[in-house]
Every structure is written in structure tokens, then in C-alpha cells.
Chain A
Amino acid sequence: MSVMNDPALGLIPGPLHDRLEPLSRAKAWYGWAGYIAPAVLDTVEFEYFALRNQAALFDISPMHTYRVTGPGALAALNRMVTRDAAKIAPGRVAYCAWCDEDGMVIDDGTLFRLAEDDWRLCCQEPMLTWLLDATWGFDATVTDESDTLAGIALQGPTSFAVLEAAGFDLSDMRPFDHREVEPGLRISRTGFTGDLGYELWMDWNDAVAVWDRLWDADPRGGMRAIGSHALDIARIEAGFLAAGIDFQPVHATERLHRGQTPFELGLGWMVDWTKGHFNGRRALWQVRDRPRSRLLRVDVGGFKPARDALVYHAKRRAAGHITSAVWSPTAKRNIALAHVKAGALDRRKPDLWAEIYTAQEGRWDRRMARLTPLAGPFYKPPRARQTPPART
């Protein structure tokens, strides 16, 4: 009777574990919201190139999903998110962020308007208490779908063709459109890769059938199931933020002021001052042009990824740190996201450097690499936005 036998402990399989487990050669699992999730199934490189060259499947079921319904749902959600949710038409989905009363970002996610009074929020952090608080006083009901709604991300240039082969006609679906293609199966043209891609949403119990249908439909046989490592490269290339890495969801911080405002995260474009009150608006108005730091997309000199590096101004003064960094196999660039203190950015030409530590055969070395801020994503293929999409 070892103490290790308690069945209540540990990670549990998600809806697609029966499919992922046999595909896993690396046996590299990690915990995502308590579920067993693949970090790598086979090889990061092959998974990544399947994603950028053909198609990739990624299980996003552990995402937190909530349904908000009722005549007061729009007003409640609009008081919560910084964008104007009224502009999201039924059948559309928008990327949103929401803040606490001090204007610090709690989380970001995608907000689907399923029908006039029917919404779904997908996000990384658990949000039930928050949504219950946010809808209090409004005629709206919150349902936690996190453990009942499964999701599969199908991403990559052939993803449209895969869906077509599986029997779905989505040629008229524009980016950020979604619709229920069959009873119980909703497809949205969304993703975390910056490329052409879709996300499929269904009941937990239907996930395997949908997976199999896609798996068997792939016309070119190059589709792979992928783990989080490959996806992470793609999302950095797309310039997307990861909660807990590129920003600190304020509810998960012990020091409340360690949170960040949308302005500090480059999400100022999502703050709508004209729509009326939203959570944190009064605090944000005070600090709208006084960010303490900024999250920058930077090109890193040299070829060594700047993972976990500190950022210096003029090679001397500490000015921030790198949050995400990778060598982009597609853009052929050394890219990173960096938090840089406002003080170091005031100058006309910021003189920013990353202090990178490298290890080769047990020998450690330190080098300073110049950081060049860039505007826009590192990688943004036109095919991502094309409607109808290409099949290759």
C-alpha cells in the first residue's frame, strides 16, 4: 500500500488522450490545467514544419471555456472586456483582453458570439469566479464548459483542404468567422499560429470521432499531431502573447502591481474609450500614456536564441528581460518578445542589448546581442487571410 497509489492524484487524460498516447514517441507530457498534454509527440522540428508546410492537429481541450447567455450577457461582457463587444456580430469571434479594477490584464482570449444572447469565452486561465462576479447584477448565466467542451486546432496551409476532404465546405469562411457546421460541431477560422487555420469545437465525448475524421481525411498524408513546443515556435513567430510567460495574469500574481496594462503589452488598440464603462477603465485612463514598460517584438542579433536573457540599455543598465525567444525556422530570424522599461525607450533610438548565456560541451559563454524592435508580427503569410483560402 504505497502512498503513491492514490488514484486521486496526478494528471488525468483529456478527451483525445487515447489518440495522442499511441502517437507519442517522445513520451514527453506535461500538465495543462490538470490534463496530460503533449510537449512533444515525435520531434519538434518535424511537428513545426508540418504546421508551417502542410497541417497540424493540436488538442486544445484543456483550454478554459465558458458560456455566457441571457439578455444581459452583452452588457456584462462589455463591462468586462476592453473592446466593444457590441461590434462582434453573431457568427464572429474576437480576440479580447480584460483587466482588473487597476487596469492590469487578467487574461486574454477569444470571445465568440454564438447567437444574439449567447457567447463563449476561451482563455488560458480559469475564470469562473471572475465571470460570476462580472455577470452579477446582469440578466446573464455563466456555464463552465471547460471540462465538457473539447477543441481541436487544425492549422497550416493545407488545413482548408483537410477540412474539405473531411466533408466540410468552408470556402466562404473569413478569418474570425465561426459557424455550427453540423449539429454539435462548430468550426471557427481562428488559431494561435498566425497562419491559415481552424479550430473545431465539440462535446468532450465527440472529440475522438472528429479527430478520426480529420486524421483519415488528410489528402496528402503530411498532417501531424503536434505538441506544445512546436506550437510555441509558431505563436512567437505570429507575435502572440502567452499568459504567464509574456505577461503575468494579475490574478496569479502575489504582488498586484506586477500585473501589466494593455498599453504595456501592446494591446492598447483593443482599449475602446468610447463604449462606456468597462472594468479598469478609470484606472487605465489615468495611465494611458504612462506605461511603465513595453512589450516589444525584437530582432536579436546573432543566431543564439535569447531565452531568459536580461535586457540592458547601452550594454550597462538593466532595462528588462526577454519573455519568449526562438530562432524562427520560417522567417529565418532570431526573434524574441522583450519587456523593456519605459525609461530605456524614451530615447530617440533605444540602445538595447540582450545578455545571452550559451553552453557548448560544458563550456559557458556570455554574449551581448543587439535588439532591434520591429513593428508587426515576425511572420504573417498572406494565405492566412485569404478567402476563399488556398488548398496548399
Chain B
Amino acid sequence: MSGADAIVIGAGINGLTAATVLVRAGRSVCVLEAAAQVGGMANPRIAHFLYNLSPLVRADLGLGRRDWPFATHPLPSVALDPGGRHVVLRGDEARLAGGGTPPEANAWRDMHARLTRYGAVLRQLAEAAPPGLEGGLTSAAGLKQMLRLGWFGIAMKRLGRRDMREFMRVLLSNAYDMILDEMPDGPLAGLLAADAVRGGAVGPRQPGTVLSLIYRMGHGGAVSLPAGGMATVTGAFERAARDAGCRIETGAQVTQIVIEGDAVRGVETADGRRFDAPLVLGSGGAAATCALAGPAHFDIEAQRRLRNIRARGTAAKLNLTLDALPEISGLPADLMGARMVLAPRADYVERAMNAAKYGEISDAPVIEMVIPSLTDATLARNGGHVLSAIVQCAPHDLSGGWNDAARDRLRDRALAALAEVAPGLPDLVTEAEVITPADIEAETGAPGGHWHHGELSLDQILTLRPASGMGRYAIGPNGLFLCGAGAHPGGDVMGLAGRNAARAALGAEGGR
């Protein structure tokens, strides 16, 4: 039996962040990770980019304000066009891969500026616990909340009246209309539509998808590839935690959260060990965390809400090993290392995502990919390359279930779609690893294999995340907190959920 001030279950980005925040606040913390390695969904087999890591998290973890402990390589984005008129995005600049300016360039510049502005406003909400619904100005906590909302209001006001109106209109709108209001349908519109639905079980015509697009742009929207891959990132988080004095145990599966007298007492692991702590933060799904404590410790309505959380992952990962570098017609060699998105039109994306509704694999999937071996030579073996792709839509609840035949089907459809822009690619493949949402769930415990442990839809954000009444990290008995992507504000290797949860836990100590 051993003890700590706090136990964090799961050593993903959010779990490690929560642990480090706690330990830096002077608490002794023990992180228990079921898998053999840390990182959770930021595992390089599953994730490939960094675009949303919060500077607040970096600061709180002592990762250095200016210098990253890992080098990152900013990537341009290429909207692939089967017709060869690929559009290259660098920040707010759009150019044609073959030279020249696409007709959407101006529209993109304006939209980029607007969405980045809105993202900055919304980031304020992401950087703190969501406002509670208890309301009332009578308590200090209530006042603090009103104050925060006041700041948010001021930030909105500072957009100016016209922009504020547009913000309030577009916020709840759908990405498809917003994009096509500004530009004709084509590769750029397709790329944006794809970014708006990535990881989710929605099509771009669904209201709320503008918000998910803005969410991606909350930290500027620049996509970067960490040198050494995502393993460098998870390694840095692990080191930050350990350096701060955190104990991290891998291969330690928590089987029970021990509750006595309506308060957390610690956890038990599969190997029969018990860890005592008055504080437990779970970075897995909300329902799974409750299940670890046992249903008897939660209200019936709360559990019903947890059961009703929508978390159907739709993004599969396809890792290809290639004999040689493929050729993409019309794309210069220096752009082969870019982030490439195959989504030729917004309505292509909508159609691909139809499949999510019916438990089917898309006939023509949306693919985001990168060839990291171009940037990191260590990944290329024998002159070959590796290609990392996220393929949508491959729903977690595939009808008929995920088996080898289904995996092959997904691989074949993805390769067929890629052949439209890179006809020679399928013949270069020597190995293909398909990681389905079901696999992701099995490996990481992420509900439904969903990137955010729960759809980032309007009815599942802010105070309603993961569910009404549980929006401020504390759930059920005293001392139990959620700190994973299922909590506000969500995932994306951002770290804010873990950070906010740790701060909520610190604030609640000795409370209730």
C-alpha cells in the first residue's frame, strides 16, 4: 500500500498535464497508466500533428515559454485536387501549387483573419472551467464566474459591433454554408470542411461545425510536425512530470476507485495494489471513470446522461510503408512533406461523412496525410518512406463490426481515393497498418475511439461537457475529478482539460 496526495489515472497528454500542475502546486502525485508507454492518444501511431497545444499548459508545465523542449516544423497545408490544381495554404496565404493565386485567396485571407480572431475570443472560455449554471451573485464563486463572463463579454465587445454580430451569427452555424458563402466549392473549401469535421461524427452541413473549425484555430491554426514525431511530445510531457517530482507507473491498470463516506480514498490496480489518496483524477472517459468507482456512488440521472454522451469515433489511422516516395501529379517535390488533405470539395466531405450515420465506411473517404520521413530521415528505411494518414469516415460502430476484412476494405478504399491524386501510390505500399476507432478505444480507452472522448457538438460543450451537472470537473463523491478530453474544453493534444481539472481539484481541496 502506498499513498499520495493525488492519483491521476492515465498518462495521456491531459493526465500528464493534470499531474504536473498538481505536483508543481506542492502535491505528491502518482500517475497510473494501464498501457506500457505514456502518451495515450498522442501516441505516434495514432496522432501525427501538433496544432492546438496550449501555451498556458506549456507554461504551467515549465516547458519553457520560448524554447520548446522539442523542435517543431511548421507545415504548409495542401488541398489536393484530382485535377492537379492543388491549393497550398501557409497561414492566411493561399497559392496554387503550380504557381499563381487561386480565386479563393482573398476570401481565405479574410476568413482566416476572422476565424483566428474568433478563436482567440473562444480560447478564453477554453482556458478556464466553464461557467456553472448554479448562477447567483451571492457567493464568491458566483462572482468570480460573472467576472470571467464579463471578461469574455469585453473580449467580444472588442471585436467591434459588426464583427461581434457576425461572431454570434456564425458561431452556431454550419461550416459548409459559412465556407461556400465566401468561396466556390473546390479543394480549399473541401479542406476547410474536412478540418471542421475531423475526428467527429458529423458532416460539414451540420450546425455547430463552424465552432469545431474555430476550435482547431484557437491557437492560430498552424499545423506543425514535431521533430522526432509525436513521441518527442509525449516524451517531453513525461519528462516535465517526472522532473517536477511526479511518480509515473506504466502497466498499472486501475480497476477500482475506492470510495468511503462519499469521498475518494484511493485506487486499486489490477495487480492487487492499493494507492491511497484523497484526490483522484481520471483522464479516461467520464462513463468509464464512474464505472471504476461503481454506479452506487453516482446519481441515477447523472449516469443516464453519461450513457447518452455521443462518442462515436470516425477517424481511422492508416500507416503505410512505401518503397519509394510517391508522386502526386501537379505537386512540386518540396511540398511532398506538407500536410496534404484529400477532400476535393465540401460536398465530397459531406458525402463521405454520410457514412458515419449508417455505420458504413465511406466509399470516397476524406484523408489527411503526411509523409514524415521527408522531414525526419530516421523514419525512412532503405530509401523508402512512411505515410501517415487519417481516414474518414470509418465509424466506431461499423455495422458488422471491425474485422480483418473490414480493415482491408478501409485500406483499399483509402488507397483507391489516394490513387486519384497519386496514381502510382498503391503499388508502392509494402506494409499497411489500419488502426480503427475500435482499436484506438481498445488501446487507449478513449470512448468510441473518439479524438475528444465525446463529440464536440454544441450540446456537448462548455457546461454540458461531458454532461450537464458535471461540467466543472468534479463528479460524484468528494475528491473525484475528470481531467481528460471528455471534459471541457476537449482534446487535440491541447492539455487544457488536464490543466483546468487540476486547478479545479486544487480549488476544491478541503471544500465540500
Contacts and interface: CB of A to CB of B under 8 A. Distances in A.
Given A276-B296, A277-B296, A100 B301 contact: yes
A178 interface: no
A75 B300 contact: no
A342 to B, nearest CB: 18
B330 interface: no
B300 A282 contact: no
A136 B307 contact: yes
A137 B262 contact: no
Nearest to A80: B300
A138 to B, nearest CB: 6
Nearest to B305: A101
B477 A101 contact: no
A281 B295 contact: no
A157 B299 CA distance: 43
Contacts of A80: 300
Contacts of A101: 299-302, 469
Nearest to B299: A101
Given A101-B302, A134-B300, A277-B477, A282 B295 contact: no
Nearest to B262: A277
A216 interface: no
A79 B298 CA distance: 8
Contacts, number: 48
B291 A281 contact: no
B301 A136 contact: no
Contact of A279 (B291, B294, B299, B477): B299
Q: Which of B261, B262, B299, B302 has the most CB of A within 10 A?
A: B299
Tell me whether chain B's interface is mostly helix, strand or loop, or mixed: helix
Nearest to A78: B296
Nearest to B477: A277
Interface string B227-262: 000000000000000000000000000000001011
Interface string B290-319: 010011111111111001000000000000
A133 B304 contact: yes
Interface string A112-145: 0000000000000000001001101110000000
A389 interface: no
Given A137-B291, A277-B477, A130 B262 contact: no
A356 B189 CA distance: 72
A277 B476 CA distance: 10
A130 B301 CA distance: 9
B303 A282 contact: no
Nearest to B295: A137
A282 B301 contact: no
A115 to B, nearest CB: 21
A283 B259 CA distance: 18
B299 A280 contact: yes
A137 B299 CA distance: 12
B296 A75 contact: yes
Interface string B262-282: 100000000000000000000
B262 A282 contact: yes
Contacts of B301: 100-101, 133, 279
A133 B300 contact: yes
Contacts of A136: 295, 300, 303-304, 307
A133 B305 CA distance: 10
Interface string A57-84: 0000000000000000001101110000
Contacts of B262: 276-277, 281-282
Nearest to A285: B262
A277 B296 CA distance: 7
Contacts of A130: 300
Most buried by B among A136, A280, A281: A136
B466 to A, nearest CB: 16
A137 B294 CA distance: 8
A124 B261 CA distance: 32
Contacts of B295: 76, 79, 136-138
Interface string A263-297: 00000000000001101111000000000000000
Contacts of A100: 300-301
Which of A130, A136, A137 has the most C-beta atoms of chain B within 10 angstroms of its own C-beta?
A137
A10 to B, nearest CB: 33
A100 B296 CA distance: 14
Contacts of B261: 276
Interface string B436-478: 0000000000000000000000000000000001000000010
A279 B262 CA distance: 12
A277 B300 contact: no
Given A276-B262, A277-B477, A79 B302 contact: no
A76 B304 CA distance: 14
Interface string B18-40: 00000000000000000000000
Given A101-B299, A137-B295, 18 more contacts: A76-B295, A79-B295, A79-B300, A101-B300, A101-B301, A101-B302, A101-B469, A130-B300, A133-B300, A136-B295, A136-B303, A137-B294, A138-B296, A276-B261, A276-B296, A277-B259, A277-B296, A281-B262
Closest 7 CB pairs of A and B: A137-B295, A101-B299, A101-B301, A79-B296, A133-B300, A134-B300, A277-B297
6 contacts: A134-B300, A136-B295, A137-B303, A276-B262, A279-B299, A282-B262
